C-alpha cells in the first residue's frame, strides 16, 4: 500500500535548510503546532520550517506489521489506515491537539496509557530518514525488526525535540488490536492503589492500562484489561471492581487520560511529569497527583519550586519534567550531569554542528 507520493518535500526542505545555514539563521521545526507548549521556549528570532506538507503513508504492509509514513502525516490518518486492517499503534501516542503528526509525536517521545504493555514510542521505531543540520539526508534502520548494524540513530531521534535532525520518514511497528477490552474501577487511596498495581504486575494478567486519580478525599483506580475474551473475563473476575460501559471506557482512556481532558489536567498550575520506579511509595509532593503505568508515571499539579520537586523525585530514583506551564525559558527537563551533558553536546555537534535546528528546545546549551 503506497499513498501520497506527490507530498515528498525533501528537496524543498533541503533547500530551505541550506539557505538558513548560509544566512546564519536558526530553524524552528513545526508540523501541526500541537506540541509547541512542550520543551523549552524557542527563541523568537528563529525561522519556522513548516513540515506539515511533507506527508503521506509511503508503505504499509499489514502482514509485516510495519507502517512507513512521512513526518507530516497525521496520527488520525495513520490510525484510520491501521483500523481498516484491525491494527493499531500499541503505545497509544497522545495527540494533544487537532492534526497531531507522526513526526512531532516521535520527536517528543510521547507514549500513552498502553506504554507498559505496548512499549514506548522509542521501542516501536524501526527506521527513519533524517535531514541533518549538515544538509545531509541519511537513512538509519529499516522496516524489519532485526536490521540494525552499528548505532541505532533512528531511535536516537526519539525525544530529541528536533535538535538533532528533521525526521523526514519514519517506520514504526504496529500490532493487531485486541479482540476484547474491559475497564474496571475501584475506590482506594494512593498507597493501596500502588500496592494493588504492584501485586497485579507480578501476575499473568492482560492489563494494558492503569490510572489512579486523587479525588481529595481518597481516590479511584481504573484498570483496563484487553485480549482474548476468555482471558479478559477470567482476569476481571480475579481483579474485581465496578465495570465501566464500553463507550465510557473509550472516552475515559482516549479523551480524559490520553488527551489529558480530565479536570486534573486543567487549570493554571504547572503540570509535572515524574518518572519513578513503579513500586516507589507515595512521595510527599505538594499538589494533587494522577498515576499511570502501574505507578511509574506520576503527574503532579504544583506551584512548588522546581528544585524542591526534582530533589524529592531524584531521591526516589526518578526524574521530573516540567511538562506544561511554568517557566519555559528555564530548564524544563531534569538537569544533566556533566558527563551526560558532554555526550549530548557531542551528538549535537555531530548532527548539527552550526546549531541551527531547534536551538535550546531540549536544553539551554544545546
**Strand, coil or helix: 12:** helix
Range of the domain at 291: 268-331
Read off the CATH number of the domain in which 238 is found: 3.30.70.2190
Where the chain has pLDDT below 70, the residues are 1-6, 143-151
First vs last C-alpha separation in the chain: 39
- At 44 the pLDDT is 80
CA–CA distance, 238 with 240 (Å, rounded to integer): 6
**Does one domain contain both 292 and 189?**
no
Task: Note whether residue 76 is domain-resident.
Answer: yes
Regarding whether 189 and 90 lie in a shared domain, the answer is no
**What three-state secondary structure class fits 197?**
helix
Instruction: Report how far residue 223's alpha carbon sits from residue 89's, in angstroms, rounded to the nearest whole number.
Output: 20
pLDDT of residue 3: 45
Decide the pairing of beta strands 271-275 and 289-292: unpaired
Q: Is residue 336 situated within a structural domain?
A: no
Whether 230 and 112 share a structural domain: no
358 part of a folded domain: no
**What pLDDT score does 228 carry?**
96
| In a shared domain, residues 153 and 66 | yes
Separation between Cα atoms, residue 79 and residue 170, nearest integer Å: 15
* Residues 229 and 170 both lie in one domain: no
- For residues 94 and 197, membership in a common domain is answered with no
Looking at the fold, whether 200 and 231 belong to one and the same domain comes out as yes
Q: Are residues 160 and 257 in the same domain?
A: no
Closest CA to 111 of 209, 221, 251, 190: 209
Q: CA dist 347 to 49, 174, 295, 352, 363, Å? A: 22, 29, 32, 8, 13
pLDDT of residue 217: 75
Q: What's the pLDDT at 2?
A: 42
Q: Within this chain, do residues 93 and 190 fall inside the same structural domain, yes or no?
A: no
In a domain, 103, yes or no: yes
Residues 6 or more apart from 131 whose CB is under 8 A from it?
Answer: 10, 13, 14, 17, 137, 165, 166, 168
Q: Same domain, yes or no, for 319 and 279?
A: yes
- Strands in 166-173's sheet, in edge-to-edge order, are 57-61, 66-70, 166-173, 125-131, 137-141
Residue 361 lies in a domain: no
Asked if residue 37 and residue 155 are part of one domain, the reply reads: yes
Domain count, the chain: 3
- Taking CA atoms, 218 is separated from 193, 196, 215, in Å, by 10, 15, 6
| Rounded Cα–Cα distance for residues 219 and 50 (Å) | 43
CA distance 148 to 113: 28
CB atoms closer than 10 angstroms to residue 154: 24
Single pTM value for the model: 0.93
Residues 54, 109 within the same domain: yes
Q: Tens digit of pLDDT for each residue in 139-189?
A: 998 766 555 555 678 899 999 999 999 999 999 999 999 999 999 999 999
- What's the pLDDT at 149? 55
pLDDT for 25 equals 95
By DSSP bridging, strand 27-30 and strand 47-50 are parallel
Instruction: Please choose, from the candidates 201, 162, 216, 170, the residue with its C-alpha nearest in 3D space to the C-alpha of residue 26.
Output: 162
Amino acid at each position: 500500500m503506497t499513498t501520497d507520493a506527490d507530498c515528498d518535500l525533501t528537496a524543498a526542505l533541503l533547500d530551505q535548510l541550506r539557505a538558513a545555514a548560509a544566512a546564519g539563521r536558526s530553524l524552528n521545526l513545526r508540523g501541526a503546532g500541537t506540541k509547541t507548549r512542550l520543551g523549552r521556549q524557542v527563541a523568537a528570532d528563529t525561522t519556522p520550517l513548516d513540515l506539515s506538507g511533507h506527508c503521506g503513508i509511503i508503505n504499509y504492509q499489514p502482514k509485516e506489521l510495519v507502517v512507513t509514513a512521512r513526518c507530516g502525516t497525521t496520527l488520525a490518518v495513520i490510525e484510520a489506515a491501521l483500523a481498516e486492517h484491525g491494527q493499531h499503534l500499541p503505545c497509544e501516542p497522545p495527540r494533544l491537539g487537532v492534526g497531531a503528526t507522526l513526526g512531532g509525536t516521535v520527536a517528543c517521545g510521547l507514549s500513552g496509557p498502553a506504554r507498559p504493555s505496548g512499549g514506548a514510542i522509542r521501542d516501536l521505531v524501526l527506521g527513519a530518514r533524517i535531514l541533518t543540520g549538515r544538509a545531509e539526508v541519511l537513512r538509519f534502520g529499516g522496516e524489519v525488526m532485526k536490521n540494525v548494524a552499528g548505532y541505532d540513530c533512528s531511535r536516537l531521534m526519539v525525544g530529541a525535540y528536533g535538535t538533532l535532525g528533521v525526521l523526514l520518514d519514519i517506520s514504526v511497528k504496529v500490532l493487531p488490536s485486541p479482540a476484547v477490552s474491559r475497564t474496571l474501577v475501584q475506590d482506594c487511596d494512593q498507597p493501596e492503589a500502588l500496592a494493588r498495581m504492584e501485586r497485579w504486575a507480578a501476575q499473568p494478567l492482560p492489563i494494558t492500562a492503569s490510572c489512579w486519580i486523587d479525588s481529595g478525599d481518597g481516590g479511584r483506580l481504573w484498570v483496563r484489561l484487553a485480549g482474548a475474551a476468555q482471558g479478559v473475563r477470567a482476569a476481571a473476575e480475579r481483579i474485581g471492581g465496578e465495570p465501566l460501559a464500553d463507550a465510557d471506557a473509550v472516552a475515559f482512556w482516549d479523551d480524559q487520560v490520553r488527551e489529558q481532558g480530565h479536570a486534573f489536567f486543567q487549570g493554571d498550575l504547572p503540570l509535572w511529569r515524574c518518572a519513578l520506579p513503579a513500586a516507589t511509595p507515595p512521595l510527599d509532593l505538594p499538589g494533587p497527583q494522577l498515576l499511570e503505568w502501574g505507578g511509574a508515571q506520576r503527574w503532579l499539579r504544583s506551584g512548588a519550586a522546581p528544585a524542591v520537586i526534582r530533589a524529592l523525585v531524584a531521591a526516589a530514583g526518578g526524574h521530573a519534567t516540567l511538562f506544561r506551564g511554568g517557566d519555559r525559558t528555564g530548564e524544563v527537563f531534569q538537569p544533566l550531569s556533566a558527563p551526560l551533558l558532554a555526550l549530548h553536546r557531542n551528538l549535537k555537534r555531530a548532527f548539527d554542528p552550526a546549531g541551527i535546528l531547534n536551538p535550546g528546545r531540549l536544553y539551554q546549551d544545546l
